[in-house]
Structure 1
Amino acid sequence: MSLFNYNTLSVSLSKETRSIVVELNRPEIQNAINTEMIFELETLFTWVSTHIEIKTILFTGRGDYFCKGLDDEEFSTWSDEKKQKNFEKLQKLVYSMFYLPQTIIVDLKNGAKGLGLELAMGADIRIANHEAEMHFNHLQKGIVPSCGGIGFTSALFSNGAVRQWLLASKKLNATELLNNNIILESYKEESTASSYLQTISNQPDIPRIQAKRSLLEPIMEKLDKTLEWEKTFSLAGMCTNDWREIAKFGSEAQCTTAKELSSKLKVEREQQLSN
């Protein structure tokens, strides 16, 4: 039975390990993120921030997949204003994961894509099935990563690696995820998440919380700067609404070329000068 009456999340509590398990609960579309899920995550994070007796939060997905990113059907209907508002909310959710007193684990199961991948970057520990793939498919979706996909990920890993993964729309398999320290462990059959919950439950609260906070200190400045500059480049990179066309029509979408945008901006500039 879920701890809260959510529609897109299932939350269960373990008194034994003083942990909660949060399942993204939209398995029919690989647990895609929609506006309702963003709202429910916001209310959940507000609740856990005031319950420091909880030691661990385990995020996973219902079914065999963590999260495919955005719900394309809903995404295609978003206005520019709603898109930016929801992206900012997601960015702040991922940012807040670094500051929550709980140790956060994400079980990627068979993988994640796009904004689902960005959500996973807020975790302290990530594990995955040995057949998992993490797909940096943002640009194929017409999305400039703006929920930590560039800033937070670069703070955790090397900027050079993140540059290649994003610009190549790279799929990383479980071995590559291990080699790049994106996941701590891959498992073959049963998830090993429960063993981590048990181990962390035996750690005293104060040293655990202070260790997490101390580990944040070297990257805190980068995280704070990310909040602003990711937004700037996201607005610029998504101004043509290619993201909406791709969400609607997929590979058949007609996207704006750089030359077309340049010509449009030139005409607009000339009109402004003439007025």
Structure 2
Amino acid sequence: MSEVTLRMEPPLAWVLLNRPEKHNALTPSMADGLVEFLGRLSTDSDVRVVMLAGEGRSFCAGADVSRLAQFKPADAVRFHRKLNLVCWAIRSCMKPVVAVLHGYALGGGLEIAEWADIRIAADNAKIGQPEVNIGLNGGAGGTIMLPRLVGRGVASYLAMTGEIVDAQYALSVGLVDLVVDACSLMDKARELGLKLASKPPEALWAIKQALSRFDEMSSWAGLEYEASLFGHLFSEEETRRRFDEFLKR
């Protein structure tokens, strides 16, 4: 079974994280699949909007900790750089990308969503960047995009405490853009996608470029620095201890 699937509903395309039994926890192969689909859809003339969502009970609970725990520093950097490519594929996609959040949207899952153009969340979503609790910094551009969305103070609070917040708090600080009843999330997300698809694609692309141009001048350097920090932390005894504690729960 593919860990990332594609469902075409022209003018929408749904890119779906597909490890529901693991709350769609991220793996290197999932990162590869996301990059492949996003690259293909960017130039697909039948697609106006890309919808990024998760199968099952959650959008994405972050990276698969059971796999992370086996990483050496070089493995961690390689994985982070795969996630860097996902972030960049979302940012550089020629179509608007809408992240549809439900259940857990944590760690690398939330961080990927932060690179989307718009985030819509179910009212029962649990949102946060809890990597600090296992001795890590953000693993998918989180420390790059989070302060750009919510400001440095709120970003510091969320990243340094590892607090998991509800959708209404996320909305109040600008981390998500819309909150809807969980029962109607997919319908409301589809309505949003179709509304975007009704706009001139060239105008949407121009708006996306204009909004992101300034950030892109320094984002890649930031991603690379974050990757080096991520890898370094895998050499820390405290990180290993926290991995062990997490896996014994």
Q: In 2, Cα distance between the equivalents of 1:39 and 1:251?
A: 26
RMSD: 2.0
From the CA coordinates, give the structure whose radius of gyration is larger: 1
Offset of residue 249 of structure 1: 3.9
Offset of residue 52 of structure 1: 4.8
Q: In 1, Cα distance between the equivalents of 2:238 and 2:200?
A: 50
2:48 to 48, 55, 58: 55
2:191 to 191, 195, 209: 195
Amino acid at match of 2:29: E
The total of aligned residue pairs comes to 246
Q: Secondary structure of the equivalent of 1:23? A: strand
TM-score (norm 2): 0.90
1:26–1:62 contact (8 Å) kept in structure 2: yes
Equivalent in the alignment of 1:96 = 89
1:77–1:244 contact (8 Å) kept in structure 2: no
Equivalent in the alignment of 1:256 = none
Q: Secondary structure of the equivalent of 1:59? A: strand
2:80–2:230 contact (8 Å) kept in structure 1: no
Equivalent in the alignment of 1:163 = 156
Offset of residue 206 of structure 1: 0.8
Q: In 2, Cα distance between the equivalents of 1:57 and 1:89?
A: 20
| 1:242/1:55 CA distance change after superposition, 3 Å | farther
Q: Secondary structure of the equivalent of 2:142? A: coil
Q: Secondary structure of the equivalent of 2:127? A: strand
Name the structure, 1 or 2, with higher relative contact order (CA <8 Å, separation 6+): 2
| 1:235/1:34 CA distance change after superposition, 3 Å | closer
More helix by share: 2
| 1:59/1:244 CA distance change after superposition, 3 Å | farther
Amino acid at match of 2:83: L
Structure 2's unaligned 5+ residue stretches are none
Offset of residue 70 of structure 1: 1.3
Amino acid at match of 1:141: I
1:120-152 Cα offsets, whole Å, 9 max, x none, are 111111111111120221111222214211012
2:233 to 231, 237, 248: 237
Offset of residue 20 of structure 1: 0.6
Task: Give matches, 1:56-205, under 5 Å.
Answer: 56-188=49-181, 189-191=183-185, 192-205=188-201
1:152–1:222 contact (8 Å) kept in structure 2: no
Q: In 2, Cα distance between the equivalents of 1:117 and 1:241?
A: 26
